[in-house]
Amino acid sequence: MDKVNAWTEWGRLKTVMVGKADNACFQPNELASHGKINNKSIAAEIDWPIGKKKNIFIEKANEQLNNFANILSNRGITVLRPDPIEFNQSIKTPGWEIAHMFCCVCPRDVLITIGNYIIEASLSKRGRFFEYLPYRKAIYQLWEKDSAMKWKAAPKPSMNDEMYWEGYWEKFIDFESKSDAEKEKILTNYLYVLNEHEVAFDAADITRCGKDIFIQHSMTANLKGAEWLRRELENHVRVHVLHFPYDKEPSHIDCTFVPLRPPKGNKPGIILTNSERPLAKNEEKLFFDNNWQFINAPKPSPLNYPMPTFCQSSKWLSMNLLSLDENTVVIEENEHDLNDLLENLGFEVIKIPYRYVFEFGGSIHCSTWDIEREDSASDFFPTLSRA
């Protein structure tokens, strides 16, 4: 590792954190999170589980995480790992108490590198209040090694009841019986369980394209969070908010809108998009004016869907890939159609088994945090500079 530096999703990867499943618990039910059991045959008979996950599942997830970490190391990439805490303990603040925490499989949600800045996000789920702790030792080591590194932690939200709109959970009742106009109105009111009382965002709601970063307004990132980033990062990057109105539970942009490579000469840049979650029409122009092309990811593989019983992510984990450089990507081994699409686009595709990781919060991109890439603050949206 030479320095903290990552401006894009595709610069050549040099240093990365890969999560660990040790001590993982089920994500606790709380105002911002209502666990859903995917297996219909048992869903009516059991409640959402509490406490630690079974060791056998922790071990299987760790096998897949370790295998991924080894593949990256063997390619000369420095791999850091977190220091798991005991997640199976209750935590209490002046405003609330919860029976246990979650896990440290997904550093992507907690941390983002933007240029030479490491930013700790302000997550909004109570079970994740202390999830920055497993990464602090690594962050201190990076900070001590690289005197140019800047370190910012977003304001820690209270996570008190006022931060959440409980009506969200009823928002889509009878949705299908409504007229198209009513549906459109509900989808574009962008009211989520996380409201605007306090700054909050998961780092995984952000994607980077050099001088410009994009944050989706979601269940886990509010407009105050985007505004905090805009003010803190002024003179560093331009911050843009994106909306994906047809995603009823938007959370984390990396299963929806995934930049793969930048425009070069006449050749357009490529963003992998999600056919069920198109970008709001009025937000497309910036991309098209700057020679970016949207290519829809293929349908998720039937080998991975239905999702594992306790997985809380959508089937679109299929497109949750990690770029090692602008010609090399890592995808889940069952996603054959995605493999073919990417190979046709000229990518080298590395396939790894990862299904056991899904129930721990995500897939390949989620379980990583890229700390160093070979890239710079290039301007891939020159129409903005001209304006």
Q: Is 252 in the site for ligand ABU (CB under 6 A)?
A: yes
CB of 279 to ligand ABU, least distance (A): 15
Q: Out of 316, 360, 369, 380, which residue is the one contacting ligand ABU (CB under 6 A)?
A: 316
Q: Out of 28, 134, 245, 362, which residue is the one contacting ligand ABU (CB under 6 A)?
A: 362
Q: Is 313 in the site for ligand ABU (CB under 6 A)?
A: yes
| 125 vs 287: CA distance, rounded Å | 32
Per-position DSSP letters for 106-134, written without gaps between them: -HHHHEEEEBTEEEE-B---GGGTTTTHH
CB of 336 to ligand ABU, least distance (A): 20
Q: Out of 64, 207, 218, 251, which residue is the one contacting ligand ABU (CB under 6 A)?
A: 251
| 79 vs 73: CA distance, rounded Å | 6
Using CB under 6 A, which of the segments 9-17, 170-178, 191-199, 310-318 binds ligand ABU?
A: 310-318
Cβ neighbours for 173, distance < 8 A, ≥ 6 positions apart? none
22, 109, 146, 202: which one is catalytic?
Answer: 202
Q: Is 314 in the site for ligand ABU (CB under 6 A)?
A: yes
Q: Which of 213, 222, 221 is nearest to 257 (CA)?
A: 213
28/361 with CB nearer ligand ABU: 361
Q: Out of 16, 80, 159, 255, which residue is the one contacting ligand ABU (CB under 6 A)?
A: 255
Using CB under 6 A, which of the segments 13-21, 187-195, 291-299, 311-319 binds ligand ABU?
A: 311-319
User: Per the structure block, which two tokens stand in for 319?
Assistant: 């497109």
Residue 25 CA, chain-centre distance (Å), reads 19
CB of 242 to ligand ABU, least distance (A): 15
User: Is 366 assigned a catalytic role?
Assistant: yes
106-135 binders of ligand ABU (CB under 6 A): none
Using CB under 6 A, which of the segments 231-239, 280-288, 308-316, 346-354 binds ligand ABU?
A: 308-316
Q: Which of 370, 268, 249, 264 is nearest to 316 (CA)?
A: 249
Give the DSSP letter of residue 32: T
Which residues of the chain form beta strands (DSSP E)?
12-18, 78-80, 91-92, 97-98, 111-114, 117-120, 150-153, 206-209, 212-216, 238-242, 257-261, 269-273, 292-296, 322-325, 328-332, 348-352, 368-374
Using CB under 6 A, which of the segments 43-51, 64-72, 278-286, 360-368 binds ligand ABU?
A: 360-368
Q: Is 208 in the site for ligand ABU (CB under 6 A)?
A: no
Using CB under 6 A, which of the segments 81-89, 166-174, 247-255, 296-304 binds ligand ABU?
A: 247-255
252, 255, 311, 375: which one is catalytic?
Answer: 252
Give me the 265-304 binding string for ligand ABU, x by CB under 6 A, dash otherwise. ----------------------------------------
| 207 vs 258: CA distance, rounded Å | 8
| 364 vs 350: CA distance, rounded Å | 12
| 229 vs 201: CA distance, rounded Å | 10
Residue environment code for 163-179, b if the CB has 16+ CB neighbours within 10 A, otherwise e: bbbeebeeeeeeeeeee
User: Is 197 assigned a catalytic role?
Assistant: no
Residues marked as catalytic:
202, 252, 366
Interface with ligand ABU by CB under 6 A: which residues?
204, 251-252, 255, 313-314, 316, 361-362, 366
